[in-house]
Amino acid sequence: MKNTVEIRWHGRGGQGAKTAALLLADVAFKTGKYVQGFPEYGPERMGAPITAYNRISNDPITVHSNIYEPDFVVVVDESLLESIDVTKGLNPKGAVIVNSTRSREEIADKLHGYEGAVYTVDAKAISIRALGKNYPNSPMLAATVAVSKVMGKEEFLKEMRTSFHHKFAKKPEVIDGNMMALELAFAQAE
């Protein structure tokens, strides 16, 4: 579909990949876009591989299926590169964004010959710095928006702050920590 950005998320149960995909859909919707955000369910247990998807468009979306040829792939857990071909069907004009301390060159052999853009973001270090714990989904969400450019940075941060205020009204430190994580990851991925 023209004017539609398709994103596939790979993570493990409990890491927040599904939540990040749903947050992205929610925020994009609030900016006036047509959206889809949904997980693909398999064995639903902590640590099991999961896949989630986003479609974001300025036009109505008429496709209702999994995404087989994404524009962007987000890998929340680098260990999945060992067992899953995360680049399968990935548009060479798109990008893969991997939560990793390693460089593009260091993970290239795990990307099955993918020749498009590769970004690595140390979401663990960012979340530990900003939140005190390893919650990789917020940094990976910001990196995805930065790389895909599905919306502008200021618009994204404004809508995320509103979303966090709604979710964590009684925990301002969680709001501030998540906002810091988003900004740090956005800067790392630009």
The pLDDT score that the predictor gives to residue 173 is 83
Residue 53 is predicted with a pLDDT of 97
Lowest mean pLDDT among 27-31, 40-44, 63-67, 165-169: 40-44
Percent of the chain with pLDDT over 90: 83
Q: How many CB atoms lie within 10 A of CB 153?
A: 16
Residue 174 binned pLDDT confidence (cut-offs 50, 70, 90):
confident
Find, among 88, 89, 72, the residue nearest to 80 by Cα. 88
Region 140-166: mean pLDDT is 95
- For the record, the structure tokens of 145 come out as 């928006």
* Joined tokens for residue 71: 């524009």
Least confident residue range of 90-104, 108-122, 169-183: 169-183
**pTM score of the predicted model:** 0.93
| Residue scoring higher pLDDT (12 or 44) | 12
User: Does pLDDT of 166 surpass 90?
Assistant: no
How far is CA 88 from each of CA 8, 67, 68, 71, 114, rounded to the nearest angstrom?
10, 11, 8, 11, 9
Confidence of residue 146 (pLDDT cuts 50, 70, 90): very high
The angle at the Cα of 117, spanning 190 to 150, to the nearest 5 degrees, equals 55
Task: Tell me how far apart the alpha carbons of residues 143 and 69 are, in angstroms, rounded to a whole number.
Answer: 20
